[in-house]
Amino acid sequence: QVQLVQSGAEVKKPGASVRLSCKASGYIFITYGVSWLRQAPGQGPEWMGWISAYSGDRQYAQKFLGRMTVTTDISTSTAYMELRSLTSDDTGTYFCARDSGATGLTWGQGTPVIVSS
């Protein structure tokens, strides 16, 4: 079955960067995109960005432009998300999701990220 297994929890200081991974299995990786989303404590989900595993095309939410990079490694069916210049507002759980234009998002288990001095 479709699985997206994300990397473990991270604790970072303000100003640092974080790089999260998302390993996909159970489907042909290059035939779907991957969206990245996050959820602050007690809040709803927020979409951050997307990458086509086939073409490498990318889309970012305006608020993350210049601070976020999404990539994929087709050889290992893994997607990566790097977020730079972290602040306490970036504390939350980060999700990757298989993104099918036709059939919605299938989410990974999430990676907690804490930004604290």
* Number of CB atoms found within 10 A of residue 95's CB: 25
Binding of another protein at residue 29 (CB under 8 A)? no
Binding residue for another protein (CB under 8 A) from 10, 21, 23, 46? 46
Given a contact cutoff of 8 angstroms between Cβ atoms, the answer to whether 69 and 61 are in contact is no
Binding residue for another protein (CB under 8 A) from 7, 77, 78, 106? 106
Position of tokens 């993350």?
A: 64
Binding of another protein at residue 31 (CB under 8 A)? no
In the DSSP assignment, the letter for residue 56 is -
Choose the stretch contacting another protein; rule: CB under 8 A; options: 7-15, 16-24, 41-49, 80-88: 41-49
Site residues for another protein, 76-95, by CB under 8 A, read 95
Q: Does residue 97 sit in helix, strand or coil?
A: strand
Which of these, 4, 31, 24, lies nearest to 103 by C-alpha position? 31
Number of amino acids touching another protein (CB under 8 A): 20
Binding of another protein at residue 10 (CB under 8 A)? no
Whole-Å CA distances, 24 to 42, 71, 87, 98:
27, 13, 29, 8
Q: What residues make contact with another protein under the rule CB under 8 A?
A: 35, 44-47, 50, 59, 61-62, 95, 101-110
